[in-house]
């Protein structure tokens, strides 16, 4: 299939900075125009995320309450049993989710861990749900194992710009994250990769993070944009919050740079007003996590999400549909 002319992989730093600097209305108009060329304007893909192994992670990500480096309210828990995962997936499907994501707090899955997760993936996929996992770094063999188990998507965020990355994480390199993305792509799985806003980074870091993703040989099929959820005990607790308008700008630029991707309004929705979320959807967000928790932090209740969808005239995405035509 011939690519649309606005799908590019050669964005320059000055071009992305200029998008961020557009008047807000102009930026949203451009983002919404791009969005309608590639997606149904009022459909939102709905995912549910389950922490299948919580806490005890050896990484030192300064935002994460699951790190062993910090004293946080999150207690370490072992890998869940298959029956419990199956039940959670069924509940997600019953609530309207079409994708079920499983997250484990590992640096990288090993041996028996990977085998057990592979069985979970097979069970969830057999239920008719798309499958996604975030398990830490993967080498080529691990990626192939997950693909053979039936994994559709692998999530591995780059978090921020390469220049700012060392201020947030020291136990794994930026290049290691990119290597995992390459291994996932080479194995034939779809990529879910985005970042976090509110780590203390500047606008230039947000721009460079998005530019890195947009200039990959293939855009991530899903691009989660997270707002930092501050957790007591982590080094970033008490960090200055990002202005909601700046957060919406980040989503809009992501939509313009990666037109065909699902841009996910991800962590941090619990603290967002309905009006902010509405602007995010206008900016091109067309995917959310649905349910009470995102791994270890809160998420809007399912009933509140349904009510917001009703008020905005949004509907859950149920399958592949043709993009809408441009507005007159």
Distance CA 236, CA 231 (A): 8
Whether 174 contacts 158, CB under 8 Å: yes
C-alpha distance from residue 154 to each of 49, 55, 66, 121 (Å)? 13, 20, 20, 12
Bridge partners (DSSP) listed for residue 287? 45, 264
Of 61, 147, 206, 280, which is the active-site residue? 61
Of 147, 177, 264, 269, which is the active-site residue? 264
Distance CA 198, CA 328 (A): 37
Distance CA 216, CA 186 (A): 13
C-alpha distance from residue 74 to each of 64, 170, 293, 296 (Å)? 10, 21, 13, 7
Check if 280 is active-site: no
Check if 193 is active-site: no
Of 192, 211, 255, 269, which is the active-site residue? 192
Of 30, 132, 206, 249, which is the active-site residue? 132
Of 101, 177, 206, 280, which is the active-site residue? 101
Pick left, alpha or beta for residue 132 (phi over 0 → left; psi -120 to 50 → alpha; otherwise beta). beta
Whether 283 contacts 252, CB under 8 Å: yes
Q: What residues are annotated to the active site?
A: 57, 61, 64, 101, 132, 192, 264
């Amino acid at each position: 299939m011939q690519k649309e002319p606005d799908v590019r992989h050669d964005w320059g730093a000055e071009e992305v900075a200029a998008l961020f600097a557009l008047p807000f209305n102009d930026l949203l108009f451009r983002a919404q125009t791009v969005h309608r060329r590639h997606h149904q304007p009022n459909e939102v893909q709905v995912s549910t995320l389950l922490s299948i192994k919580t806490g005890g992670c050896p990484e030192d990500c300064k935002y994460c309450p699951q790190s062993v480096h910090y004293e946080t309210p999150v207690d370490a828990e072992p890998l869940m049993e298959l029956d419990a995962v199956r039940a959670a997936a069924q509940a997600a499907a019953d609530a309207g989710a079409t994708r079920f994501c499983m997250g484990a707090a590992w640096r990288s899955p090993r041996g028996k861990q990977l085998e057990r997760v592979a069985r979970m993936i097979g069970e969830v996929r057999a239920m008719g749900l798309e499958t996604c996992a975030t398990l830490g770094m993967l080498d080529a063999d691990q990626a192939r194992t997950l693909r053979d188990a039936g994994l559709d998507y692998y999530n591995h965020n780059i978090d921020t710009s390469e220049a700012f990355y060392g201020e947030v994480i020291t136990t794994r390199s930026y290049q290691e994250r990119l290597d995992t993305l390459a291994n996932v792509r080479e194995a034939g799985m779809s990529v879910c990769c985005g970042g976090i806003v509110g780590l203390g980074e500047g606008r230039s870091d947000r721009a460079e993070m998005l530019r890195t993703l947009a200039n990959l040989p293939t855009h991530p099929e899903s691009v989660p944009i997270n707002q930092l959820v501050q957790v007591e005990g982590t080094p970033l607790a008490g960090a200055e919050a990002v202005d909601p308008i700046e957060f919406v700008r980040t989503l809009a630029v992501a939509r313009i740079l990666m037109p065909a991707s699902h841009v996910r309004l991800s962590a941090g929705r619990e603290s967002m007003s309905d009006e902010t979320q509405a602007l995010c959807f206008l900016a091109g967000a067309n995917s959310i996590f649905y349910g009470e928790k995102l791994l270890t932090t809160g998420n809007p209740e399912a009933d509140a999400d349904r009510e917001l969808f009703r008020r905005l005239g949004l509907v859950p995405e149920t399958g592949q549909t043709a993009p809408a035509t441009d507005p007159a």
